[in-house]
Structures are given as structure tokens and as C-alpha cells.
Chains A and B, each alone.
Chain A
């Protein structure tokens, strides 16, 4: 199988290309609220003085579930491609915000609220001559430093 060049599903969600991508949020100069993805106004205080802010790449799992059935459109997976269940969760980034993201883990037994998580990217599907990717969080299991070695 040919290795296709990767492309984010949407520009501006995370730094790319990058060895360690970071989510691109925004921070309000007025009230310090941080949101993801970046916005031009603050949804908390309606302030207009808002700057791009790179988010922490590590956090903790705040809540989670598993998407076990194939969603209807507008889910973008091409019809002929096999659907694999995926985890979904909110990851709390200390002092910043809680980001909703796909999880690399889809086994309920291996997910728990409070576990440490790290940002990564996952492939979605082929789009023309590219493979689309999106941001996701992967669990950091105790005693497992394989991620750090990547």
C-alpha cells in the first residue's frame, strides 16, 4: 500500500506539519478564558481582544464514551470503508479548558476518568491523493513510555 501524504481535516485546528502537534485555541485578553478551536471573539465575556493560544499537549481524561455504531452522514467516512468504533472524550488541560476529541483507545476496560492523556493525530480516510488526519488523545498508561520513544 502506498503511503499517502497526510493532511489535516481542517486547517487551523492544530499546528501542522509538526513533530508534536499542538491544538490551536484562543485566549481572551480581557477575561483570560481559553477556548478551542480559536475564535475571533470571546464566548464568555464577548470581548474582541482575543489571541491565538497553543494548548497543552497533556491532560487528564475528564469523561469519555465509545462511538460503537456507524454514524449516519454527515459522518465523512466513505461508504465502502469499514467502520471501526472509536473512543470520544473530554480531556481536561489544567488551567486551560476541556477539549472534546477522538481517543485512540476504544476499549472501555482501558479508559478511566482521571487517567493521563496525550495529544496525537489519527488517520481518518483517504481524500484524493491525501490521507486526512485529525487530532486525538491517547492514554498514557503507567509504566508505558512507548509514546515518549516515538
Chain B
């Protein structure tokens, strides 16, 4: 069905449960809190919600929240789609709204991870036991090797990686719901424990806990409610194509295929009818500092290699020409996988509304962009705009 203006979907409410460590608080409790905040923000009640989608990687079935919010019989889709979990809930909800199945929808994402690097039984990820047994099934190795090659090919310096992480902690310090809220010097970051060269301890994010929710509405419903809409102009999700460098690859083709972020971003811009030059603020996947650097070019926000100058000049800072990860990103917020994508959307909505407090970017941003990427080679992008 062709998409007309009447089919547009808006985000009219957002809620976040602070990211970090919350002993004794269940993931679902965080999710319920985030949903209640999003409902209050939108000025609607749970009873009015006609569709819901929720995602978590390790913390059970998100539809369990209906037990506390109200047993209204609402259709609720549970999603478990790694880093693209949030985008998947947005896809499900926005599709239902566009199809006319509902006028108001809730999405939620949460997780409560154990400390330390992620690990999983190899067979669940299509990885051979022998590969994992010899110590190759670790995502930090992959990210380190990818940025190592990228630095070689495009002249990115180690100082730029430290600058990206320092920006994350600085922005995190201005974000009351961030996990890491202490600014850290580039020198301290660069000289912290070398985890997997060229990436040091403080260039990595760590798994933690948190929840994010949003209320979505059709454009008509948003107008009826009289709330300020932030339009979800597009959501695009892609898995890897053959030949891209991905986690857990025993061999990689000489073909040098772009990662899934590139086609996901292209699709998101095409659906939105916008281009990367229209973007005022971006939230990019920064599981480690190198990913943010590479993501800037993989999404088309700049040319490959241009990041070095942009970052060294401070253009990705809050007051730069292209602010990136204004809430501190994954590095400062940590990574509750199920909440990652929606946290980026939450931050974008705050910034576009002008409600981001101390970290508000100047000059009334109109268009925001988000990107997540993760194992085993999945990426999702959204474009959000005030009009």
C-alpha cells in the first residue's frame, strides 16, 4: 500500500528507566516503570493502547508486563533480535499503526545482564564448538580487528578513539539516566588496560541494566490528542550480505562487501525521503569507540576517512556540526541489549523536542538518525523528524 501523509507514525511519549546496576530490581519492573513514564508523557492510559511490542535478549518475555499494567487483552509481540530488538519493536508497532490495526501502540525494550563480556553457547549462534573452544568467539576481538584495519586503511589515529570515548563520558555526565557519569580524560582512557589492541578498557561499553519505552500514534491520533509529534520517518533493518567482515567469521571474502549498516542506512534514508546531509544529530552504535568512528561513514553521514578531522575538530561534540551520541551512547549508558535501539530513539526525541537539558544541542535540530549494529551481523537504522 502506498504511504500517504495520513499513514505517518509519530512518537508521542517516551520513558526511560536509568541505565546501570539495580540489584533487586527485575528487568520487567524497569520495563513497567519506563512504560508508565511514556504513557504519562503522552497523556494516555494503558487501557487506550491497542498494540504493543516488547524486546529483551536475556530477561524473559516482555509481555509479562501486562500483569502489572493491566490485563486489557492488548495484542503484544515479544521480540528477541539482538541489537536490532528495539528497531524490531518499532517495525511491528509502526506497521500495525500504518495498517490501521491500531491508533496507539507501546514499545518497550529492557535487559538485565550479568557483569563482564557477553558469552553464549556457540550452537545457539551457529558457531562451531571448536571455534569457540580455541578462544575465537569473542566480540571484542572482532571489533578490535575491524577498527585496526580501518585505522590502517583510512588514517584514523588512536587519539581519535580516545576522543570518542572521552566525549561519551562527558555527555554521560550531563545525562541523569546514564550509567557512567564521570568525565574521563583522553589520556586516562588511552592508558587504561589494553583489552584488545587498539581498544582499551574505557573505550568499551559494558553490559548493564535498563529499560526504555515509547508510545506511538498515527498522525491523526496525535493531532486529536494535541501532543507534539516526533515523526518516525523510517525504520530499516538488514542482516549481513555475503562478504562483509562480521563477528565469528572463520574466513572473510576478498570481496570487501559493506556491513549491514550501510544498506540499512540507505533504506532508512530512502524511506524517509531524506539524505544524510539532512541529519542534525545522530546516535550511533558505539559498543566500543571504533564502532562510532566507522558507523559515521558506514551510514553515509561522512566519507570514509573524514572522521579523523571531524572528530579532532570537535564536530561530533554537542556544539559541533554533527553531534553524535549526545546521551553518552553505549559507552556511558552501558548495554542492556533489548533497550539499546529505543534508548537512541528516546534521546533523539528529547533532542528534537528541545528537552535534553544540559546536553541539549543548539540550533533547534529538525532531523535525527539512529543506528545499531551487532552480532551476528545485523543492523537497524531509524530517521526521526519534527515534520
CB distance from A56 to the nearest CB of B (A): 12
- Are B136 and A66 in contact (CB-based, < 8 A)? no
- Are B135 and A75 in contact (CB-based, < 8 A)? yes
- Are A100 and B130 in contact (CB-based, < 8 A)? no
For A124, the closest partner residue in chain B by CB is B134
Question: Which residues of A lie under 8 Å from residue B255 when comparing CB positions?
Answer: 44
- Are B253 and A44 in contact (CB-based, < 8 A)? yes
Q: A10-B130, A67-B135, A74-B122 are in contact. Are A100 and B252 (CB under 8 A)?
A: yes
Q: Does residue B254 face the partner (Cβ distance < 8 Å to A)?
A: yes
Contact code string A79-123 (vs B, CB < 8 Å = 1, else 0): 000000010111010011111101000001000010000000000
* B interface, size bucket: 35 or more
Among A36, A67, A74, A76, which residue has its beta carbon within 8 angstroms of that of B121? A74
CB distance from A141 to the nearest CB of B (A): 19
Contact code string A28-51 (vs B, CB < 8 Å = 1, else 0): 000001111100000110000000
- Are B250 and A37 in contact (CB-based, < 8 A)? yes
Which residues 55-107 of B have a CB within 8 angstroms of A? none
* A interface, size bucket: 35 or more
- Are A98 and B252 in contact (CB-based, < 8 A)? yes
- Are B251 and A65 in contact (CB-based, < 8 A)? no
- Are B133 and A74 in contact (CB-based, < 8 A)? yes
Q: How far is the CA of A66 from the CA of B252 in the complex (A)?
A: 19
Which residues 123-142 of B have a CB within 8 angstroms of A? 128-130, 132-138, 141
- Are B243 and A44 in contact (CB-based, < 8 A)? yes
Q: Does residue B194 face the partner (Cβ distance < 8 Å to A)?
A: yes
Question: Which residues of A lie under 8 Å from residue B122 when comparing CB positions?
Answer: 74
Q: Does residue B117 face the partner (Cβ distance < 8 Å to A)?
A: yes
Question: Which residues of A lie under 8 Å from residue B242 when comparing CB positions?
Answer: 43-44
CB distance from B263 to the nearest CB of A (A): 17
Among B132, B135, B138, B148, which residue has its beta carbon within 8 angstroms of that of A63? B148
Could you count the A-B residue pairs with CB atoms below 8 Å apart for me: how many are there? 115
Contact code string B144-167 (vs A, CB < 8 Å = 1, else 0): 111011001000000000000000
Q: Does residue B362 face the partner (Cβ distance < 8 Å to A)?
A: no
Question: Which residues of B lie under 8 Å from residue A25 when comparing CB positions?
Answer: 251
- Are B136 and A100 in contact (CB-based, < 8 A)? yes
- Are B148 and A100 in contact (CB-based, < 8 A)? no
- Are B135 and A65 in contact (CB-based, < 8 A)? no
- Are B134 and A68 in contact (CB-based, < 8 A)? no
Q: A44-B253, A75-B132, A113-B148 are in contact. Are A65 and B196 (CB under 8 A)?
A: yes
Q: Does residue B223 face the partner (Cβ distance < 8 Å to A)?
A: no
- Are A77 and B135 in contact (CB-based, < 8 A)? yes
- Are B251 and A100 in contact (CB-based, < 8 A)? yes
Q: How far is the CA of A127 from the CA of B137 in the complex (A)?
A: 20
Q: Does residue B197 face the partner (Cβ distance < 8 Å to A)?
A: yes
Q: Does residue B195 face the partner (Cβ distance < 8 Å to A)?
A: yes
Among B135, B144, B146, B250, which residue has its beta carbon within 8 angstroms of that of A71? B135
Among A67, A100, A113, which residue has its beta carbon within 8 angstroms of that of B152? A113
- Are B138 and A71 in contact (CB-based, < 8 A)? yes
- Are A67 and B254 in contact (CB-based, < 8 A)? no
Question: Which residues of A lie under 8 Å from residue B243 when comparing CB positions?
Answer: 44
10 chain-A/chain-B pairs, Cβ below 8 angstroms = A9-B133, A33-B253, A44-B255, A74-B129, A76-B132, A96-B254, A98-B251, A98-B252, A100-B250, A102-B136
Residues of A with Cβ closer than 8 Å to B? 9-10, 13, 25, 33-37, 43-44, 62-69, 71-77, 86, 88-90, 92, 95-100, 102, 108, 113, 124, 134
Additional A-B contact list (10), CB under 8 Å, known A76-B132, A100-B249, A134-B130:
A35-B251, A37-B250, A68-B194, A75-B134, A76-B133, A76-B134, A92-B254, A98-B252, A113-B148, A124-B134
